[in-house]
């Protein structure tokens, strides 16, 4: 089999792959969550529309990985604990 035959597109199934966090609501990050829900909805629609032509649509939901958002959530958690202990007056310090 020639290289051209091996690389022929007829041997491959066309596929669109999207990355998404999934449908997990995250406090204080509404816009981010909306965008990820939008990715899920858009990929579901494309799956229905493009499936009749044999085009596959997949959504990959990677497990957690370390980003700056993790630090943000940790900071929010501790700020809420401080506010519960001292009340809103701690902000005046």
Active site amino acids: 32
Return d(Cα 88, Cα 69) in angstroms, integer: 24
Are 46 and 39 within 8 A, CB to CB?
A: no
What is the distance, to the nearest Å, from the Cα of residue 48 to the centroid of all Cα atoms in its chain? 20
Return d(Cα 14, Cα 12) in angstroms, integer: 6
């Amino acid at each position: 089999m020639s290289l051209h035959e091996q690389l022929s597109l007829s041997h491959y199934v066309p596929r669109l792959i999207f990355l998404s966090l999934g449908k997990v609501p995250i406090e204080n990050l509404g816009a981010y969550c909306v965008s990820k829900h939008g990715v899920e909805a858009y990929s579901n629609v494309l799956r229905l529309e493009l499936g009749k032509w044999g085009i596959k649509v997949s959504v990959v939901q990677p497990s957690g990985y370390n980003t700056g958002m993790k630090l943000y959530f940790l900071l929010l958690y501790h700020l809420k604990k401080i506010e519960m202990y001292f009340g809103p007056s701690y902000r005046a310090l």
